[in-house]
Amino acid sequence: MFQLFIANLALLTAFMFLSSRLLRNHERKPFLPAKFRFVIGGAHGFFGILLMFFSVRIDGTTILDFRQIAIIAAAHFGGIYASAVAGLIIATGRIAMFGVTPSSLTAATTAVLLGLISGILAKRITDYWKKWLFSIAASIGVITFSLFFLLGWQSWKVNLYFVAVILSGGLFVAYLIRYLTDANRLVYQLEESEAKYRRSFTLQEAIFRSATGVAIIFTDPAGVAKVFNPGAERMFGIPADEAIGRRVPGTIVEPKEFALRKQELQRQSGRPVDDLEVFVVGLSEGKGHEQEWTFVRRNGERFHVHLMLSEVRERGDGLLGYLAIIVDRTESKQAEETMMQANRMLEQLSRRDGLTGVANRRAFDEFLDAAWAKAAMYSQSLSVIMLDIDCFKAYNDTYGHQGGDACLKQVAGALQRVVGNMDGLAARYGGEEFVVILTACRRLQAAAVAESIRREVEALRIRHIGSSVSEYVTVSVGTASSIPYAGLSPLELVGMADKALYRAKQEGRNRSESYQPGN
């Protein structure tokens, strides 16, 4: 009897070890798919059947084992789906092994009820120990009732065995799973820590290797090179295996400059100075400093560098060495110039309309404000010309958006040919609308320019069968001119030109109109 009980306990322990290992992510990912929960229930159910092969016989009809604990464990790992499946499998196994007897039917019913109850408790109770204690108590309650139903008042002796086994076994398994879960968590944290370290190391190595334009050198406290990255090899023309193991100052520094700095430091300190001190003087713990130096490549070429130097220390006070990051100033200046050119190009692109190549609305607004201020300062007339492609929606509908884009480009080109050499700006105002600002330009001059634009567009002879004006693409143009004064704003001048454009459209399109007060 005792041997069978030990066998039951050993099997239970081994199975819990296996379950906890296979379900080690359960605590971090508690929401398992239903299919996986059924698998968990099936595994625990068949394990419960295995336990019955090593059960202890209390009398001719009653057996004692840990199958109830397997059901509770299934509820812990897989919820009510798992515990219900485990209970059904164990119930089926009990009847199959011992026949259809009152004892088997009672035990089977107990297994099914316990599967449902423990599953409900697992879902509703979040605290680990409360969940286990309530499940154990429920198991004891169900078994006590079943034994009383089966044996009557004589069941109390048998029930003592069940209470002792389920209570001790349940608490043992609860502690075991908790221990294994904590162990799995520690293993996971260790694995995560190792993975982070590997990622960090890989990243550092990648940065170290890929920084070919920057020299990275690490020395020990005596100044002997321990790390010499590919950027340092490229910068100084010295292979890493040759540089490592040698004192850095004597390897890369321009001799005359180094001697002068060393003499100056000796004069200031009034004592002999080691070569390394020339570099590290002024360094303080936790703070680096930057210097400008002249270094020498292996081929004798001198070049100016920016040196960033810092101490590398252990958590305590121990000095591990010095980290030097060296940037060739020549290359950095070239890079800065390249960056400035790129920024200028981006600035220009940001002020151009991507389709037509003329200035965009942002550039127009900025130029208008500047031109208005200049005109106000010198009491000069400022003119705004607005033009709109006639029946452009019909053109798009007829020739498609690609055709419409091509039309816009040609109109913009015509506009540039007329005003490109004038003192002003041509811009796309939006959609098929364009606008021109002309500085130091009076009303009659603006009207002449507007008419030139209209004729230039008409001369393109771009077919437009959907136009109600002409068989070719035409434009309507409106102009407005004024010397800035206190009661007038730049936007109001644009509004005047827009009103003149509207009048040109009303008068039949393919014409230019000048703004007249009152019209």
Active-site amino acid positions: 432
| Two structure tokens written together for 15 | 């199975």
Cα(148)–Cα(211) distance, rounded to whole angstroms?
A: 80
Q: Which helix (H) or strand (E) holds 162?
A: helix 155-210
Q: Which of 184, 146, 173 is nearest to 47 (CA)?
A: 173
Tell me whether residue 500 is exposed, middle or buried, using C-beta atoms within 10 angstroms of its C-beta: 0 to 12, 13 to 18, 19 or more.
buried
For the range 455-459, what are the long-range contacts, defined as Cβ-Cβ under 8 Å and sequence gap of 24 or more?
456/414, 456/415, 456/417, 456/418, 457/387, 457/411, 457/414, 457/415, 458/510, 459/414
Residues with Cβ < 8 Å from 15, sequence gap 6 or more?
47, 70
**Contact call for residues 20 and 77 (beta carbons, < 8 A):** no
The pair phi, psi for residue 270, each rounded to 5°, is 70, 25
What single DSSP character describes residue 61? S
C-alpha to C-alpha distances, 352 to 338, 406, 438, nearest whole angstrom: 21, 17, 18
| Two structure tokens written together for 146 | 């079943």
Angle between helices 2-22 and 67-98 (to 10 degrees): 120
Cα(472)–Cα(186) distance, rounded to whole angstroms?
A: 80
Using alpha carbons only, what angle is made at residue 395 by residues 391 and 400, rounded to the nearest 5 degrees?
150
Using alpha carbons only, what angle is made at residue 32 by residues 29 and 33, rounded to the nearest 5 degrees?
150
Cα dihedral value 136, 140, 146, 150, nearest 10: 140
Q: Where are the alpha helices (H) located in 351-442, listed in sequence order?
A: 361-378, 392-419
How many CB atoms neighbour CB 1 within 10 A? Answer: 9
Cα(384)–Cα(112) distance, rounded to whole angstroms?
A: 89
Q: Which of 210, 203, 232, 207 is nearest to 219 (CA)?
A: 232
